[in-house]
C-alpha cells in the first residue's frame, strides 16, 4: 500500500516550490521527492485531496494561492496577494468552504471564501494589537495559527502576545471576538490542537519550549489552564524552538517537534487530560519545523529545514513510541508536511 505526502518549503536555496513523496507501507520506505508545483516560498499548506491551499510569495508581495491537483502535480487556480511578507499559516474549513490566513509579519488574520473553481473572495480581516511579551521575537503581535475549534469557531494563536483568541465565525466568513486566553510572558503561543472530545486543547509555546494543557468551555468559547510541561529536558540550555504539534485520532498521544534539540517529543494523554512525556527521538537532521502522521497513524514523516531531509518513523499504537526507519531522504528546505 502506498500513500503520498506533500511538503511546503522555503525557496531561499535550491527549492522550487511544493514537493511530494510516496510512502510504501510494505517496504516501509519513502520514495525520492518530486516537484508538485512551482511556487515561491510555499511555507505552509493544506489540501483536501483535490485542491491545495498554500502560502505564496511573488517578489515583495505575499499571500495565498489555490491549486488543482492532477495526478502527482498541481496547477495554479487563483491567488490573493498583498504588499509585504507572506503569511505563516493557512487553515481550511471544509463545511463553510473558508480559508483562514494568519500573517506573522503584519499581525493580520484574513478570511477567504473558497469557490468551487478555487477562486478566492476575502470576507473579513482582523488585526491584532496590544501588549507583547519580553522575548526579542515578540517585537509586535505575531499571529502564527488560525484554524477551527471543534464547535466551529476560529481560534488564533499569537506568538508575539502570548495570546490565544477565539472568534465566533459565520457561514459567510465574518468574525466576532469571543474570548482571550493569556499564557505566561514569553510563552510564545504558536500552534494548538484539540482533544478528540473537544474538552481540552494542547497549546504549544515556541519561545518557552512548553506545552500547555487547557480546558475548553464550548458554552463560553474560552480556555482555562490545567498543566504546563516542557518539550525539552530541564537541563537543556542551548536555543530551542518548539514548532509543530499533532494528536492521534484515538486521543492517546501527542507529538511535538523541537528545533534546536532536533527531536520529536512524545506525550501520553492521561485520563484527566494532562500529559506525560514518554519519549524524545532525534529527527536525524537540523531544524524540524513540521511533521505529519500517515493515514493509519502507523508512520510519522518529519521534515528538517536546515539539513534538507525527511525522516521516516514507525509508530507503536500501544506505547506511542517511534522507531527510526529511514533518514536522509532529500527534500530542499522542507518546512511543512501534510497527508496528501
* 237-257 pLDDT per residue, tens: 999 999 999 999 999 999 999
Q: Say which residues have a Cβ less than 8 Å from residue 1's Cβ, sequence separation at least 6.
A: 24, 25, 26
**In this structure, are residues 322 and 288 in contact, taking their beta carbons and an 8 Å threshold?**
no
CA–CA separation, 308 and 320 (whole Å): 26
* 299-332 pLDDT per residue, tens: 999 999 999 999 999 999 999 999 999 999 999 9
* 47-101 pLDDT per residue, tens: 999 999 999 999 999 999 999 999 999 999 999 999 999 999 999 999 999 999 9
DSSP 39-73: -S----EEE-SSEEEEEEEETTEEEEEEEEEETTE
Q: In the predicted model, what is the mean pLDDT of the chain?
A: 98
Strand, helix or coil for residue 278: strand
Here the cell at position 167 is 472568534
pTM of the model: 0.98
Hunting for cell 476560529 — which residue is that?
154
* Band (137; pLDDT cuts 50, 70, 90): very high
CA–CA separation, 188 and 183 (whole Å): 8
Domains, the chain, ordered by start: 86-230 (2.130.10.10)
Amino acid at each position: 500500500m502506498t500513500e503520498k505526502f506533500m511538503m511546503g518549503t522555503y525557496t531561499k536555496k535550491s527549492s522550487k516550490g511544493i514537493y511530494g513523496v510516496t510512502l510504501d507501507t510494505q517496504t516501509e520506505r519513502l520514495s525520492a521527492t518530486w516537484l508538485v508545483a512551482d511556487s515561491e516560498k510555499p511555507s505552509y499548506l493544506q489540501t483536501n485531496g483535490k485542491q491545495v491551499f498554500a502560502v505564496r510569495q511573488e517578489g515583495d508581495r505575499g499571500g495565498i494561492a489555490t491549486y488543482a491537483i492532477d495526478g502527482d502535480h498541481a496547477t495554479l487556480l487563483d491567488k490573493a496577494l498583498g504588499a509585504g511578507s507572506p503569511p505563516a499559516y493557512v487553515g481550511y474549513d471544509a463545511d463553510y468552504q473558508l480559508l483562514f490566513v494568519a500573517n506573522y509579519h503584519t499581525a493580520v488574520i484574513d478570511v477567504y471564501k473558497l469557490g468551487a473553481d478555487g477562486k478566492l473572495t476575502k470576507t473579513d480581516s482582523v488585526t491584532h494589537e496590544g501588549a507583547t511579551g519580553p522575548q526579542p521575537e515578540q517585537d509586535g503581535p505575531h499571529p502564527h495559527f488560525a484554524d477551527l475549534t471543534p464547535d466551529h469557531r476560529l481560534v488564533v494563536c499569537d506568538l508575539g502576545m502570548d495570546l490565544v483568541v477565539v472568534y465566533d465565525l459565520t457561514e459567510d466568513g465574518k468574525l466576532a471576538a469571543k474570548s482571550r486566553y493569556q499564557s505566561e510572558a514569553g510563552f510564545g503561543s504558536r500552534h494548538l490542537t484539540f482533544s478528540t472530545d473537544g474538552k481540552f486543547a494542547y497549546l504549544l509555546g515556541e519561545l518557552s519550549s512548553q506545552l500547555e494543557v487547557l480546558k475548553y468551555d464550548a458554552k463560553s468559547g474560552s480556555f482555562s489552564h490545567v498543566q504546563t510541561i516542557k518539550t525539552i529536558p530541564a537541563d537543556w540550555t542551548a536555543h530551542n524552538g518548539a514548532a509543530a504539534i499533532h494528536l492521534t485520532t484515538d486521543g492517546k498521544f501527542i507529538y511535538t517537534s523541537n528545533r534546536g534539540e532536533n527531536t520529536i517529543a512524545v506525550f501520553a494523554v492521561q485520563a484527566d487530560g494532562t500529559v506525560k512525556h514518554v519519549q524524545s527521538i532525534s529527527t536525524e537532521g537540523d531544524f524540524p519545523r513540521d511533521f505529519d502522521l500517515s493515514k493509519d497513524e502507523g508512520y510519522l514523516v518529519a521534515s528538517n529545514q536546515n539539513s534538507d531531509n525527511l525522516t521516516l518513523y514507525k509508530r507503536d499504537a500501544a506505547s506511542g513510541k517511534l522507531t527510526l526507519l529511514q533518514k536522509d531522504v532529500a527534500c530542499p528546505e522542507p518546512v511543512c508536511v501534510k497527508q496528501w
